């Protein structure tokens, strides 16, 4: 495991809020989130990591997704970071039980330096899983994530959507409940990913699984 990377001063309040929220709930996070964090395994299956490829999760939480990626891509080199030291405690415990060689660090999604933390500057696959909806400056984090992708790599995102196929009442109920946990689904996620893809000369694949409950995008 690597030494936690330093955070920007502007991230201190976000870190404090996340540590406070997860200090106790990290122990039951995976069990309680499984029913409604939809599309995570679909995204991991679509990563198509090349043999021996590098994978970075931005906002790795409990390590659940990195462990799933380790099981699917046994020869991949896996890395993750999170702003919450509390979540990283659980991630390290979970990963230790698997025996996987997954490297973790503490850091800010919009400024993390993986070369300083891991000795790796860019990755074959970078992804966000239900994290952009909790990052205040999410567009900066998304742009930084793309900057960490190799020229032939991919950036993937899965997060809450706007329930287009479920109707306004379902959207109001879901989004009202999510707001209690500092979660704000990003209405302009597809537009922002499209803008970044176009600026970088890349293409965007985007879909809305579960009748719009989730958003799933990949910049290739």
Q: Does the pLDDT at position 27 exceed 60? A: no
Residue 47 corresponds to which tokens in the numbers above?
A: 């990563």
- Percent of the chain scoring above 90 in pLDDT: 79
pLDDT at 1: 37
Torsion angles phi and psi, residue 76, rounded to 5: -75, 155
The pLDDT-based confidence of 37 (bands split at 50, 70, 90) is: confident
From the number of C-beta atoms within 10 Å of its C-beta (0-12, 13-18, 19+), residue 51 rates as exposed
Q: Does the pLDDT at position 126 exceed 80? A: yes
Angle ∠(188,193,201) on CA atoms, nearest 5: 150
Distance CA 126, CA 165 (A): 29
Residues 205-209, mean pLDDT to the nearest whole number: 97
Going by C-alpha positions, the residue among 88, 87, 150 that lies closest to residue 114 is 150
**Architecture of 9-219 per CATH?**
3-Layer(aba) Sandwich (3.40)
* Domain range list for the chain: 9-219
Residue 9 corresponds to which tokens in the numbers above?
A: 């001063």
HSE, side-chain direction, 13 A CA sphere, residue 152: 5
pLDDT at 31: 54
The pLDDT-based confidence of 9 (bands split at 50, 70, 90) is: very low
pLDDT at 184: 95
Distance CA 89, CA 84 (A): 9
pLDDT at 181: 84
pLDDT at 4: 42
Distance CA 215, CA 206 (A): 7
Distance CA 69, CA 44 (A): 6
Q: Does the pLDDT at position 35 exceed 60? A: no
pTM, two decimal places: 0.86
Q: Does the pLDDT at position 186 exceed 90? A: yes
Residue 147 corresponds to which tokens in the numbers above?
A: 């900057």
Query: Measuring CA to CA, how many Å separate 87 from each of 40, 52, 92, 109, 133?
Result: 18, 27, 9, 15, 17
């Amino acid at each position: 495991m690597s030494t936690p990377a330093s955070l920007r001063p502007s991230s201190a309040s976000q870190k404090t809020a996340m540590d406070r929220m997860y200090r106790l709930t990290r122990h039951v996070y995976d069990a309680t989130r499984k029913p409604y964090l939809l599309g995570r395994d679909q995204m991991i299956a679509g990563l198509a990591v090349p043999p021996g490829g590098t994978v970075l999760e931005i906002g790795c939480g409990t390590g659940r997704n990195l462990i799933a990626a380790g099981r699917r891509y046994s020869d991949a080199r896996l890395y993750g970071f999170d702003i919450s030291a509390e979540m990283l405690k659980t991630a390290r415990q979970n990963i230790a039980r698997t025996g996987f060689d997954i490297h973790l660090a503490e850091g800010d999604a919009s400024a993390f330096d993986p070369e300083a933390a891991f000795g790796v500057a860019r990755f074959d696959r970078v992804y966000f899983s239900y994290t952009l909806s909790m990052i205040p400056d999410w567009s900066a984090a998304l742009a930084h994530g793309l900057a960490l992708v190799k020229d032939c790599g991919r950036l993937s995102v899965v997060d809450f959507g706007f329930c287009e196929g479920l109707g306004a009442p379902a959207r109001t109920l879901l989004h009202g409940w999510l707001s209690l946990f500092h979660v704000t689904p990003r209405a302009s996620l597809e537009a922002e990913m499209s803008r970044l893809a176009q600026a970088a000369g890349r293409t965007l694949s985007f879909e809305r699984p579960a009748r719009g409950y989730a958003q799933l995008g990949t910049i290739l």
